[in-house]
């Protein structure tokens, strides 16, 4: 097991291969990571390097377009679409007072629902049809394929989370059926080395149950240790970075951590990030699991739903959404 100031590396290979005892062994590693530091790397995940590389190529291709072309699919009320440079300010940060906008631009993609899907026809928030770039042949197909790959990986990981919480391995099967996810395709321009108060993305915690950050050749991520110091997260070849957020806190009654983190690009190169945020089905009530509550540990959060929580959160963070109200 790693020390509290080290980000653990967990090999999923034996578990995914069905090796005897691997589920319980790997679940113990996940429990340690999420109770001690809140982040871990995964190797042996089975996602082909070529597929990851192809998605990074598509992200760079999208962001290389002129601004007016990207703004044609500007961020909508479901927070899908394009967010321009300095388009959000993380006023929700619990570890730093943030007043300056983030130095990144991003494209947000959710599940690619058909236009005749009941949720699309009902105009439900966070379940809208995705608006895709008009002149990027092959972009949609590669991004959707990658999102499908990520969803399959998350569903394979759910028994690890269940056993890490002393629940039956199938506990999260139903909540995560037709799970809610968001893919953030981010570009971080290089920042001056002396820009102390500017961030690619300011210190924050995610909202998700589970976040997967794709392997990246250009470093920039750092996480906040429990003593308040910052730990650089090195780029490890073929390894995803995994963490949880506010919904993980609610599901686990603060048993697992939602660790603050930030990104600063002082590499001198363009940095791209491919981040998959995953949550339960949008209609599933989010409440503490039974193994995390008891007579001496009552629920710390009221039961809530994805739509209610995210609407309040995103109004605080995304300047373009507030301007549109």
Pick the CATH number of 49-324 from 1.10.287.610, 3.20.20.80, 2.60.120.330, 3.40.30.10: 2.60.120.330
Sequence-distant (6+) residues with CB within 8 A of 79 are: 108, 126, 182, 310, 314, 318, 321
The DSSP bridge pattern shows strands 39-43 and 240-243 to be antiparallel
**What is the value of pTM for the model shown?**
0.94
For residues 75 and 314, give the distance between their C-alpha atoms in angstroms, rounded to a whole number. 11
pLDDT reported for residue 1: 40
pLDDT reported for residue 319: 57
Which pair of structure tokens corresponds to residue 201? 């993305």
pLDDT reported for residue 227: 86
User: Which position has the token pair 């990520």?
Assistant: 150
pLDDT one-digit tens code per residue, 313-323: 877 665 555 44
Q: Domain limits of the chain? A: 49-324
Q: Put the strands of the sheet holding 201-204 in their side by side order.
A: 201-204, 261-263, 221-224, 230-232
Identify the bridge partners of residue 175 per DSSP, sorted by sequence position. Answer: none
pLDDT reported for residue 90: 65
Residues in the chain with pLDDT < 50?
A: 1-4, 322-325
Contact 106, 184 (CB under 8 A): yes
Sequence-distant (6+) residues with CB within 8 A of 298 are: none
pLDDT reported for residue 316: 67
């Amino acid at each position: 097991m790693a020390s509290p100031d080290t980000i653990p590396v967990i090999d999923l290979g034996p578990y995914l291969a069905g090796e005897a005892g691997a589920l319980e062994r790997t679940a113990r590693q996940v429990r340690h990571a999420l109770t001690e530091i809140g982040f871990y790397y995964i190797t042996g995940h089975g996602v082909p390097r070529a597929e990851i590389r192809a998605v990074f190529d598509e992200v760079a291709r999208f962001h290389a377009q002129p601004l007016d072309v990207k703004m044609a699919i500007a961020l909508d009320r479901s927070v899908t679409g394009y967010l321009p440079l300095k388009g959000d300010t993380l006023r929700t940060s619990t570890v730093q007072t943030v007043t300056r906008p983030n130095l990144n631009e991003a494209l947000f993609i959710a599940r690619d629902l058909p236009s005749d899907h009941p949720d699309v026809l009902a105009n439900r928030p966070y379940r809208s049809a995705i608006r895709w770039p008009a002149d990027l042949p092959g972009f949609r197909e590669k991004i959707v394929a990658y999102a499908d790959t990520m969803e399959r990986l998350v569903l394979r990981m759910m028994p690890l989370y269940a056993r890490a919480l002393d629940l039956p391995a199938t506990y999260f099967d139903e909540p995560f059926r037709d799970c809610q996810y968001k893919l953030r395709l981010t570009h971080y321009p290089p920042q001056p080395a002396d820009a102390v108060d500017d961030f690619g993305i300011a210190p924050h915690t995610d909202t998700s149950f589970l976040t997967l950050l794709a392997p990246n050749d250009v470093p920039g991520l750092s996480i906040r240790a429990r003593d308040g110091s910052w730990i650089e997260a090195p780029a490890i070849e073929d390894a995803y970075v995994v963490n949880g957020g506010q919904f993980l806190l609610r599901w686990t009654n603060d048993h697992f951590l939602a660790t603050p983190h930030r990104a600063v690009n002082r590499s001198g190169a363009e940095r791209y990030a491919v981040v998959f945020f995953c949550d339960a089905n949008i209609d599933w009530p989010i409440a503490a699991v039974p193994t995390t509550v008891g007579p001496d540990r009552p629920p710390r959060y009221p039961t809530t739903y994805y739509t209610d929580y995210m609407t309040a959160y995103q109004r605080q963070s995304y300047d373009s959404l507030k301007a549109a109200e």
